[in-house]
């Protein structure tokens, strides 16, 4: 099964900039590249920070833009999003019984569990008892299945102080307590970091990729303010099979790939 992950769109209306770049143009380029090269993907998961400023008008404009994406897409929200405004514009997006934007996407290979880690008004994330209860119920009903988790905020430190400060504060160990007994979490896909990072957390592999607009520099000294830069944006092409998980990061605006011409076979 083939998935696409895109993250941290920080979308604003046409002609507006965020950190010196145009998110709407970038999202259109990303969608065009996916439609051209990966229209056969089964799902596209958008892992939060859908918009930069969380007004209803911005979500409406985002909705119009996403209409052109030919792969079925599913949302997480991030710290730049507003749960209520998002849900007003995307009312068909499933949520749990408490209104958190959490859902399960059933696939032939396994279950994709999309978690809501947003604490309104804060850049750091949380995963409260109500949300944990929902996950506990979902995992209990999925004992025979492989499970893939999707979250905006990493539940662990990655070693970059400015980002560690705004990770899933306090709740990483609570989350692990819920998932640990099940032994069926194959991979965790994350956003929020605006950098490519991979590794494992308590034995569970994870991957994080760059955003669609600005990125965060490889800076181990920054602490209070998260710096931004213009490294190239990426989307991920993910192949899920029962025995393996493969994650490719593709810099869709990197001009250096253009001289490449596939050789025809003799
Ligand atoms: Fe972001």
pLDDT tens profile 174-209? 999 999 999 999 999 999 999 999 999 999 999 999
CA 24 to centroid of ligand 1, rounded, Å? 15
Q: How far is the CA of 224 from the centre of ligand 1 (A)?
A: 16
Q: Examine residue 188 and state whether it is found in any structural domain, yes or no.
A: yes
Whole-number pLDDT of residue 263: 63
Residue 265 lies in a domain: no
Percentage of the chain beyond pLDDT 90 is 93
Q: Is residue 264 part of a domain?
A: no
Distance 49 CA to ligand 1 centre (A): 5
> Ligand 1 centre from 193 Cα, in Å?
7
Give per-residue burial for 152-184: e unless 16+ CB within 10 Å, then b: bbbbbebebebbeebbbbebbebbeebbeeeeb
**Residue at 199 is within a domain:** yes
pLDDT tops 80 at residue 65: yes
Show the domain range for 121: 2-256
Asked whether residue 261 is domain-assigned, the answer is: no
- Expressed in angstroms and rounded, the spacing between residue 69 Cα and the centre of ligand 1 is 21
- Residue 189 in any domain: the answer is yes
Q: Is the pLDDT of residue 2 over 70?
A: yes
Separation of CA 262 and ligand 1 centre (Å): 35
Mean per-residue pLDDT for 214-243? 95
What's the confidence (pLDDT) of residue 264?
Answer: 59
Asked if pLDDT for residue 265 goes beyond 60, the answer is no
User: Is 241 among the domain residues?
Assistant: yes
- Domains held by the chain: number: 1
Q: How far is the CA of 159 from the centre of ligand 1 (A)?
A: 17
Q: What is the pLDDT of residues 148-182, one digit of tens each?
A: 999 999 999 999 999 999 999 988 999 999 999 99
CATH code where residue 112 lies: 3.60.21.10
In the block, residue with structure tokens 């979902």 = 138
User: What's the confidence (pLDDT) of residue 262?
Assistant: 66
Three-state SS letters, the chain: CEEEEECCCCECCCCCCECCECHHHHHHHHHHHHHHHCCCCCEEEEECCCECCCCHHHHHHHHHHHCCCCCCEEEECCCCCCHHHHHHHCCCCCCCCCCCCCEEEECCCCEEEECCCECCCCCCECCCHHHHHHHHHHHHCCCCCCEEEEECCCCCCCCCHHHHCCCECCCHHHHHHHHHHHCCEEEEEECCCCCCEEEEECCEEEEECCCCCCECCCCCCCCCCCCCECCCCCEEEEEECCCCEEEEEECCCCHHHCCCCCCCCC
89 is a domain residue: yes
Ligand 1 centroid vs 210 CA: distance in angstroms? 9
């Amino acid at each position: 099964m083939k998935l696409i992950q895109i993250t941290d769109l920080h979308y604003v209306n046409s002609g507006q900039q965020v950190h010196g770049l145009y998110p709407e143009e970038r999202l259109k380029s990303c969608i065009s590249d996916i439609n051209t090269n990966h229209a056969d993907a089964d799902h596209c998961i958008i892992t939060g920070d859908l918009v930069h400023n969380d007004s209803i008008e911005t979500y409406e404009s985002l909705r119009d833009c996403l209409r052109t994406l030919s792969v079925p897409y599913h949302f997480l929200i991030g710290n730049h999003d507003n749960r209520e405004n998002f849900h007003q514009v995307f009312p068909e997006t499933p949520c749990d019984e408490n209104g958190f934007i959490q859902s399960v996407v059933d696939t032939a290979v396994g279950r994709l569990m999309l978690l809501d880690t947003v604490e309104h008004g804060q850049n750091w994330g949380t995963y409260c008892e109500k949300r944990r209860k929902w996950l506990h119920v979902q995992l209990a009903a999925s004992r025979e299945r492989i499970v893939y988790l999707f979250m905006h905020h990493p539940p662990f430190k990655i070693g970059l102080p400015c980002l560690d400060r705004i990770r899933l504060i306090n709740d990483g160990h609570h989350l692990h307590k819920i998932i640990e007994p099940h032994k069926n979490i194959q991979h965790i896909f994350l956003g929020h970091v605006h950098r490519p990072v991979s590794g494992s957390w308590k034995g569970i592999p994870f991957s994080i990729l760059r955003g669609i607009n600005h990125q965060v520099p490889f800076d181990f000294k920054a602490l209070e303010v998260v710096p931004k830069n213009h490294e190239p944006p990426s989307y991920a092409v993910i192949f899920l099979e029962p025995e393996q998980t493969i994650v490719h990061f593709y810099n869709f605006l990197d001009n250096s790939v253009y001289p490449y011409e596939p050789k025809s076979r003799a």
